[in-house]
Chain A
Amino acid sequence: MSAIVIENVRAAPSELRPAATGWESATRWNQAPLLIQFAGLFSLVILIAASPSPNVTKAAALGIGLATLFSWFGVGQWLAAHQLKAHRATPSGSQASTYTLDRRGVGVRNGHAESRMDWSGLKGVVRDHDRYVFLFTPGYNPILPRRLLTPEQDASVQALIVEAGLRVTDGPPPGVD
């Protein structure tokens, strides 16, 4: 099988979402510290609401609790948008990539950088309805949008992955995250 070359790869923001499966054991508890902060603040709000303190104190506790929650959501949204913008403003992140898949592994390159991974370095591949996610490490999972592949290339990619002996995990169906 000859190498499969896919040029001009630039994942859309929706395609860059974290993989729903693959590194659960490493990421399962990531939100725990934040949830502890959340639980601590709202336990206090509830305690004050139940205590015989003045109404103005109860209102302040609830107001500040809610303001904190909404601020956290707002900043999170801002971060998600600006992290991608900051990435795309870098020399390497501003360029589209070329993916090359062959019997040895996966190559990703642009004008200034190149990364070449052996299939034996991958833990597996997630096959979502719109993309392939190559599970290399919990922090590095190159994404290949399937919309850029012809049906023949898509079949060849799957054949290469199976030939490499890697586990292919299907992601959730469209609309389910």
Chain B
Amino acid sequence: MIEVEAVQPTAREFRSIKGGWGAIHWVCMPYTYAFLLGFLIYGLVANALTGHVLPPFLLSGALFVTWIAWLVAGWAVRKVASHEAGKAPAGNLPWNWSIGPEGIVFSNGLQKNDVDWRAIMKVREESDRFLFLVTPAYNPVLPKRLLSEQQLADLRCLIAAVTASGRLGRGVDPTPGASDKA
């Protein structure tokens, strides 16, 4: 059993995941950047149609100002959301992880989650963290800095073993269409 105490990922370790859930990632991109993409497309079309008729720096200036305002607003929203989430009774508690052949148990004194390896679609190892992909909205993060060299080696062995045995992600219902039923 691999025991890791006081797990509290930093904002960087909590960054968005870049892959693992297929097309959802790519569709989120145009949704998030729709209006900035619109700017760029407009810039290309306007130049192609009119050459240099538009006032100088109108397009690039408007794009730059909007981009800066968008970056600042995004940063402020993340700060506010994180601050407010920390006020929830269980929002800022460190978690204790216990990883074994059956799955992972997380607890923080007010909540206890028990996730079988069969419920985990896949595990991604990145430079600073392990990601356990359970659902598109639930991907527990384990920072590597909290694991000793021995624990890192043991965890890699365990992940290899549950992958080789087919237990990892085995819980997928293979019935066609079963996943669409509400």
B-contacting residues of A (Cβ < 8 Å)? 10-13, 23, 25-30, 32-34, 36-41, 43-44, 47-48, 51, 53-54, 56-57, 60-61, 64-65, 67-68, 71-72, 75-76, 78-79, 82-83, 85-95, 111-118, 120-123, 135-139
B130 at the A/B interface (Cβ < 8 Å)? no
Q: How many whole Å from B178's CB to the nearest CB in chain A?
A: 6
Question: Which of chain B's residues 76-105 have a Cβ closer than 8 Å to chain A?
Answer: 76-77, 80-81, 84-85, 88-91
Query: Contact: B27 with A78, CB < 8 Å?
Result: yes
Query: Contact: A25 with B84, CB < 8 Å?
Result: yes
B118 at the A/B interface (Cβ < 8 Å)? yes
Query: Of the candidates B24, B37, B46, B121, which one forms a contact with A82 in the assembled complex, judged by CB atoms under 8 Å apart?
Result: B24
B158 at the A/B interface (Cβ < 8 Å)? no
Q: How many whole Å from A48's CB to the nearest CB in chain B?
A: 7
B137 at the A/B interface (Cβ < 8 Å)? yes
B171 at the A/B interface (Cβ < 8 Å)? yes
Q: Which residues of B contact A29 (CB under 8 A)?
A: 73, 76-77, 80
Query: Contact: A76 with B31, CB < 8 Å?
Result: yes
Query: Contact: A79 with B24, CB < 8 Å?
Result: yes
Chain B interface secondary structure, helix, strand, loop or mixed? helix
Q: Which residues of A contact B66 (CB under 8 A)?
A: 36-37, 39-41
Q: Which residues of B contact A67 (CB under 8 A)?
A: 38
Look across to chain B and name the residue whose beta carbon is closest to the beta carbon of A27: B81
Q: Which residues of B contact A91 (CB under 8 A)?
A: 118-121, 169-173
How many A-B pairs with Cβ below 8 Å? 219
Q: Which 4 A-B pairs have the closest CB atoms?
A: A91-B171, A40-B66, A68-B38, A121-B110
Q: Which residues of B contact A83 (CB under 8 A)?
A: 24, 136-137
Query: Of the candidates B33, B112, B172, which one forms a contact with A115 in the assembled complex, judged by CB atoms under 8 Å apart?
Result: B112
Interchain CA distance A90-B139 in the complex, whole Å: 12
Q: Which residues of A contact B180 (CB under 8 A)?
A: 85, 88
**Binary interface profile of B, 107-148, with partner A (CB < 8 Å = 1, else 0)?**
000111111101111000000000000111110000000000
Query: Contact: A60 with B49, CB < 8 Å?
Result: yes
A44-B39, A116-B111 as given contacts; A123 in contact with B88, CB under 8 Å:
yes
Query: Of the candidates B36, B49, B90, which one forms a contact with A57 in the assembled complex, judged by CB atoms under 8 Å apart?
Result: B49
Q: Which residues of B contact A53 (CB under 8 A)?
A: 50, 53-54
Q: Which residues of A contact B110 (CB under 8 A)?
A: 117-118, 120-121
Query: Contact: B84 with A138, CB < 8 Å?
Result: yes
Q: Which residues of B contact A65 (CB under 8 A)?
A: 38, 42
Query: Contact: B54 with A72, CB < 8 Å?
Result: no
Interchain CA distance A48-B181 in the complex, whole Å: 48
Q: How many whole Å from B77's CB to the nearest CB in chain A?
A: 5
Look across to chain A and name the residue whose beta carbon is closest to the beta carbon of B45: A60
Q: Which residues of A contact B113 (CB under 8 A)?
A: 113-116
